[in-house]
Amino acid sequence: GVGKTSTAECIALHMKKPLHSLTSGNLGVEPDEVEENLQKHFYLAAKWDCILLLDEADVFLQQRHQSQLKINAIVSVFLRQLEYYTGILFLTTNRVGDIDRAFKSRIHVTLEYKPLDRNTTLEIYRLRIKRVRAKYAARNRKLKIKEEEIIEWAKKHYKKSKLERRQWNGRQIFNAFQTAVALA
């Protein structure tokens, strides 16, 4: 929504390496299952010389509490596996304040993504318009896009949604474009 996943994609592109993308759902819910799957994906990422992205890694990064034995076991498994991984790993989360302090020494770089400002929001709209045009041009198909009207609407929508503290993120803008194109 604000560029976390896109950052990993851009770094992989810049480094000319494939991106291997996972979510916590790909790794399982039982500690043994998580450990086995982490080992497998860390091995594959090293073998393929790729960048690994663990999207929505909240469950693996969260603070441990005495009353949550299963979660504690999963976090411990993840910490142990992370110790031995030597490749580039991106972890995305929306819960920065809930990260277990044991990760502080294991994470080399952290990036904070603030909500989109007006200029960035409008730039995303322009980029989406450009990509839709290119997609249709590549297929020799015509699609009339009223760019000025879309940008004016985006300005008004941004102003209104900011007042309501309900600003759209990049993913929501993308989804709106997908829907509009499907209906066109």
Q: pLDDT tens digits for 57-116?
A: 888 887 788 888 888 899 899 999 998 899 999 998 877 777 878 888 788 888 888 888
Domain with CATH 3.40.50.300 in the chain: 4-103
Residue 94 near residue 134, CB atoms below 8 Å: no
Q: Is 119 exposed, middle or buried (0-12, 13-18, 19+ CB in 10 A)?
A: exposed
104-136 residue pLDDT tens: 878 888 888 888 889 989 998 998 899 888 888
Average pLDDT, the chain: 88
Task: Kindly report whether the global pTM for this prediction surpasses the value 0.75.
Answer: no
Tell me the C-alpha distance between 184 and 180, whole Å: 6
Q: Which CATH class is domain 4-103?
A: alpha beta
13-70 residue pLDDT tens: 999 999 999 998 899 999 999 999 999 999 999 999 999 999 988 888 877 888 888 8
Residues 6 or more apart whose CB falls under 8 angstroms from that of 134 comprise none
Identify residue 152 by its one-letter amino acid code. E
> Three-state DSSP class for 62?
strand
